[in-house]
Amino acid sequence: MGRNNLRRRCREVVAGIELPVPFTAQELCERLAERRSRPLHLHALPVPTPPGLPSGMWLATEQADHILYDSQTSRLHQDHIILHEIGHMLCDHEAGNKVLHRELDLGLVDPDQVLRVLPRVHYDSHQEQEAEMIASLVLEGIGRLPAPSPFTGLLAGLERSIGFRRRSGR
């Protein structure tokens, strides 16, 4: 599937989602759980994700869906990880490596109950590209920008002092 076809398909998937306003990943998950008639749980991993391990993962059991994400990154990145995993769910992507869940031993669900494991590690497969595109389109659609921090004014002053100008419309 070419990039234009991928984008078109992903836009159709995103168009079928009622995005909460204001947007929160938790509220979106609650809506999706209701729509899919099955619980959807978010689990923030308490430690940074080591290199080579997934920054996010979708675990599906017969009873519920579980999305795990790296809690030691920015809110924007956390939302992107969660949306990427939601992309896998919405596209009904095939299971990845169940062995990975067993190796991580997260203690969230019984490993024998896991039907699907889709970790977020790399983006060379069609499924990963599709999930990544869906996450990007949702963030684009909600106009997600990082919340202002105490350093916003300082950063703007530094940008002005070096002559940096933001393009309008962004």
Q: Tell me the pLDDT tens digit for each residue of 41-72.
A: 999 987 777 776 678 888 888 889 999 898 88
pTM listed for this prediction: 0.71
How does pLDDT run across 109-151, given as a tens digit for each residue?
A: 566 555 555 554 455 688 888 999 999 999 988 886 444 455 5
Q: What is the pLDDT of residue 143?
A: 81
* SS3 per-residue string spanning the chain: CCHHHHHHHHHHHHHCCCCCCCCCHHHHHHHHHHHHCCCEEEEEECCCCCCCCCCEEEEEECCCEEEEEECCCCHHHHHHHHHHHHHHHHCCCCCCCHHHHHHHCCCCCCHHHEEEEEEECCCCCHHHHHHHHHHHHHHHHCCCCCCCCCCHHHHHHHHHHCCCCCCCCC
Q: What is the pLDDT of residue 17?
A: 93
How does pLDDT run across 70-115, given as a tens digit for each residue?
A: 888 899 999 999 999 999 999 988 766 554 444 445 555 566 555 5
Q: What is the pLDDT of residue 55?
A: 82
Q: What is the pLDDT of residue 124?
A: 60
